[in-house]
Structure 1
Amino acid sequence: MSFASRLRVVFRSKANQALDRMEDPREALDDSYEQQLKMLQKVRQGLAEVATAGKRLELQGQELGTRHRRLADQAEEALNQGRDDLARTALERRVLVETEVASLRDQYAALRTQQAQLQDNERRLAQRVAAFRTEKETMKATYAASRARVQANEAAANIGSEISNVGANLDRARDRVAQMQARAAATDDLIASGALNDATATPDADLDRQLSAGATQSAVDRQLQSMKDARSTNRGQASGGRGTEPDAWLTIGQSPN
């Protein structure tokens, strides 16, 4: 792979990563979940406010009920004392209290209805949020697994491409090595035969090589003849015990005394 191709692959990978971050569905799911939680929180705040208002109405109604009973007791006491005027005043105020209680009762009933509706809405919204959370986490896990699978497959594909390139380079290297070995062997043969002069060799080096080869052959012939003579005379000097001595190596290549 050329440098320009590798550069294009790097830029393409960076661009894909940027797009993945911009289009990551997990972030969108989390944002939607946060918005639903905020809606649920607002519903619960409204429910708490309605419940608080209803509690205030209850306390106000209890106070009016206490006053209503006290005015009845005061009217009764006024009659016992022969004070019809005071009894009338107490009863008039008691009627006004009854009017206030009737209005308060209507407001309280409306609040209770509104509270029941809000409780029902809160319960259904909480169920939807919980269901959405479960689905969100499932989708996120599925997306993460799929993304990991894609990355693994892409990595495997890149590894396969790299291995293919390495194999091609290795084949080329083997061919070059084989060619060089063949050339080295050929030049050795040419130099040995004298067809190719070795510029680094000493003058008349070819004669030295041939004489050395002849000397080697003569030494082999002498040793072979010596072994034959020893066998014929049963002396066994070719494989005698001298070879087992510690300094026997010093006599290798020397003629026996």
Structure 2
Amino acid sequence: MSTSNSNSARMRTIFRSKTSKTLDRMEDPRETLDDSYDQQVKLLQQVRLAVADVATAKKRIELQGEEMGARYQRLGAQAAEALAQGREDLARAALERRAMLEGQVAQLQQQFTALDRQTAQLQDRERRLTDQVAAFRIEKETIKATYTASEAQVRANEAVSGISNTITDVGSSLDRARDRVAQMQARAAATDELLASGVLTDLTAAPDADIERQLAAVSAQAEIERQLQAMKGSSGQARGATERPGPDGWLSIGRAG
């Protein structure tokens, strides 16, 4: 029962680890920052469009107010001219229309004042939001650069770790190769000695090669004895046999004089 629980806990740990790694790969903070920046830029564009719309409405009211102001002045002039001509009725009608126009102008002035205040507020928000977006962009790029550098360092460290493991494996392979070479060299030297001593038979040698080697050894020994006797018989001859004048004297070593 405890073994089963231990296996289950191990599986849960492995699953959480794999899930965490998958989420890390899926959720790149650089992409998240870019998305947030794009959203803020879109909001800033909306605020700028609102400022433009309010400014347009304000300008329209301003033009309408100028037109109504011109009419107000014209009605006043018409009332004065009608009164001068003795047409009090026309003067009264012009003044009545001007009075009605005053009410309309008053309402227009209220709208213009409200739009002017709204425009100032939106412009202030647009400036603050522009500063915030600019500051966020700088911080975003800084964080992205830091993350990219850290990611590169992690890859480099992992690569170095992999190289270290590879070097360890290569070192082990070299040690095994050196051991095999040393063993093979020792075996070659041992077989050479066994062949020389006659314990092993050289299958590639000519027939009766062992007899020839023994005869060669006896002949060499006899030659040494002959030279020794000659040296004992005549010291001058011994000097003549051992001394070869000239720089090419070595060429005659081993040859019969």
TM-score (norm 1): 0.80
Q: The residue matched to 2:155 in structure 1 has which SS?
A: helix
Amino acid aligned to 1:240: P
CA distance in 2, matches of 1:236, 1:226: 10
Quote the offset at 1:252 in angstroms. 6.3
Amino acid aligned to 2:162: N
Equivalent position to 1:62, from 60, 66, 69: 66
Deviation by residue 1:86-141 (Cα, 9 ceiling, x = unmatched): 21221122112211111111111111121122112112211221221121112111
Task: Please name the residue that 1:240 is paired with.
Answer: 245
Amino acid aligned to 1:176: R
CA contact (8 A) 1:227 1:238 kept: no
Task: Please name the residue that 1:7 is paired with.
Answer: none
Quote the offset at 1:224 in angstroms. 9.3
Task: Please name the residue that 1:255 is paired with.
Answer: 256
Task: Please name the residue that 1:43 is paired with.
Answer: 47
CA distance in 1, matches of 2:87, 2:231: 166
1:165 to 1:129, Cα distance in 2 relative to 1, 3 A: same
Residue segments in structure 1 that go unaligned for 5+ positions in a row:
1-14
1:134 to 1:141, Cα distance in 2 relative to 1, 3 A: same
CA distance in 2, matches of 1:225, 1:98: 159
2:200 pairs with 1:196: yes
CA contact (8 A) 1:50 1:114 kept: yes
Could you tell me the percent identity over the aligned residues? 59
Amino acid aligned to 2:178: R
Kindly report the root-mean-square deviation, in angstroms, between the aligned alpha carbons of the 2 structures.
3.1
Deviates more, 1:56-65 or 1:199-208: 199-208
1:236 to 1:201, Cα distance in 2 relative to 1, 3 A: closer
CA distance in 1, matches of 2:185, 2:20: 48
Quote the offset at 1:231 in angstroms. 7.8
Quote the offset at 1:32 in angstroms. 0.5
Quote the offset at 1:52 in angstroms. 1.2
CA contact (8 A) 2:230 2:238 kept: no
CA contact (8 A) 2:54 2:115 kept: yes
Task: Please name the residue that 1:71 is paired with.
Answer: 75
CA contact (8 A) 2:231 2:238 kept: no
Equivalent position to 1:143, from 121, 136, 147: 147
CA contact (8 A) 1:230 1:238 kept: no
Equivalent position to 2:87, from 83, 88, 99: 83
Deviates more, 1:76-85 or 1:227-236: 227-236
Task: Please name the residue that 2:101 is paired with.
Answer: 97
Deviation by residue 1:9-55 (Cα, 9 ceiling, x = unmatched): xxxxxx99976552211111011101101101110111111111111
CA distance in 2, matches of 1:219, 1:18: 89
Q: The residue matched to 2:200 in structure 1 has which SS?
A: coil
2:210 pairs with 1:206: yes
2:116 pairs with 1:124: no
1:240 to 1:95, Cα distance in 2 relative to 1, 3 A: same
CA distance in 2, matches of 1:68, 1:80: 19
1:242 to 1:97, Cα distance in 2 relative to 1, 3 A: same
CA contact (8 A) 1:64 1:97 kept: yes
Q: The residue matched to 1:241 in structure 2 has which SS?
A: coil
Deviates more, 1:79-88 or 1:221-230: 221-230
CA distance in 2, matches of 1:238, 1:205: 36
Deviation by residue 1:66-101 (Cα, 9 ceiling, x = unmatched): 111111111111111111122122112211221111
TM-score (norm 2): 0.80
Quote the offset at 1:181 in angstroms. 0.7
Q: The residue matched to 2:248 in structure 1 has which SS?
A: helix
CA contact (8 A) 1:230 1:237 kept: no
Quote the offset at 1:208 in angstroms. 2.7
Residue segments in structure 2 that go unaligned for 5+ positions in a row:
1-18
CA distance in 1, matches of 2:63, 2:97: 20
